[in-house]
Amino acid sequence: MAEATNDDVKTLSFEAALAQLEEIVGKLESGRAPLAESIAIYERGEALKAHCETLLRTAEARIEKITLSRDGRPTGTEPLDA
């Protein structure tokens, strides 16, 4: 059931997912939520965390380093970790 309620997580931007995750962490740390709600928001937090990690891995794979000629002109790109 938590799976169905967390389907929208996949459509969130990194920033939106991170903001929701920070809100959940704050609520859980404060102890203000009843047990049933704590479990539900913890499950959503797990889904948000996984989504953020996926988005970060995707972004890291796309980052490239610009290569320059001796005179400082761009000549192309190469993987950042090359």
> Could you read off the pLDDT tens digit of each residue along the chain, which spans 82 residues?
455 468 899 999 999 999 999 999 999 999 989 999 999 999 999 999 999 999 998 888 777 777 888 888 888 877 776 5
Which range of residues forms the domain containing residue 58? 2-79
pLDDT at position 63 = 76
pLDDT at position 77 = 79
Who contacts 78 (Cβ-Cβ below 8 Å, separation ≥6)? 64, 65, 67
Total domain count for the chain?
1
φ/ψ of 65, rounded to 5, equals -100, 135
